[in-house]
Structure 1
Amino acid sequence: MPGKRSSRKQIQHFCCPYCDRRLWRAGSTKHFLFYTEAAQIRQYVNVSHKSAALLASQGAYVDRNSWIEEFFCGEHGKLWLKLNRNPAGQLTSQIATSKDWQQSTQTINPEVPNPSVSEYSYRMSRAPSGRLSYCRR
């Protein structure tokens, strides 16, 4: 009977690019990449020039085979990786760049502070406090 075998062995594990330890998925959403120009679509999606032009004329093309996802390393903390699925179904990973963040859906650039937060609040949230506060009873 087909489908009775466990597919647990097919799960792919990723390693930290800095220390080669195993990375753990943080459970974040997948932020898929999109492309607006025919040249980008042709380069990253591997379609013909004619198909790329057609897809570009319809608007932004969301690539469901490339996304940014959050991972956790025990030594380096939170890492954002760009994952690519090849036609064979294997995933390749690399560190997400600022260019990848600009082409991702439903995201803001994590390197730029939130514009709705004042400069004073941002600076104070990053500064170490001079004293520890605790509650006395």
Structure 2
Amino acid sequence: MPGKRSNRKNVPRFYCPYCERRLWRLGSPKYFLFYTGALEIQRNVANMPRQSAVELAAKGVYVDNNAWIEEFLCGEHGKLWMKLCRKPDSKLNVSLATSHDWQKTTRTIHPETPNPSVGEFTYRMSRQASTKLIYSRD
């Protein structure tokens, strides 16, 4: 019985919310979500009692290691950012990442806003098409 102990069948598969085709992981880093208030911690972390949430909020920012944003690739729709949440039964809940989710992630800049360290002129020049770069043989 070859493959009896194989975990290959247990690999999670993710599907595009638009076309239901399989999504592929791009190997991007996981951007974990964080919560600051006791109510926010209790609402977003599974099975968290109110007293424990108050204690965690008193310590400062709580980084949830069971919720993160990761980049995936759909053959039809291109790159998608998905929010993954690990449930207590170790199953993953997958949804599209919203702008609110991006505001609650660690080490990230929102992908729809320009990089603050890039100047306005450089950003504008990188976004426009230039006819000077087209080479034609006449």
Q: Structures share a fold, TM > 0.5?
A: yes
Partner of 2:110: 109
SS at match of 2:81: strand
Amino acid at match of 2:23: L
Tell me, in whole angstroms, the C-alpha distance in 1 between the residues paired with 2:45 and 2:93. Answer: 15
SS at match of 1:23: strand
Partner of 1:43: 43
Tell me, in whole angstroms, the C-alpha distance in 2 between the residues paired with 1:15 and 1:105. Answer: 25
1:129 Cα deviation (Å)? 2.0
TM (normalized to structure 2)? 0.90
TM (normalized to structure 1)? 0.91
Partner of 1:15: 15
Tell me, in whole angstroms, the C-alpha distance in 2 between the residues paired with 1:42 and 1:133. Answer: 57
**Displaced runs of 4+ in structure 1, greater than 3 A?**
131-134
1:18 Cα deviation (Å)? 1.0
Percent identity of the aligned residues?
Answer: 60
1:131 Cα deviation (Å)? 4.3
1:56-67 → structure 2 map (5 Å cutoff) = 56-67=57-68
Partner of 1:25: 25
Amino acid at match of 1:68: I
Partner of 1:77: 78
Partner of 1:123: 124
The count of corresponding residues between Structure 1 and Structure 2 is: 133
Tell me, in whole angstroms, the C-alpha distance in 1 between the residues paired with 2:5 and 2:112. Answer: 44
CA RMSD of aligned residues (A): 1.7
Tell me, in whole angstroms, the C-alpha distance in 1 between the residues paired with 2:89 and 2:6. Answer: 20
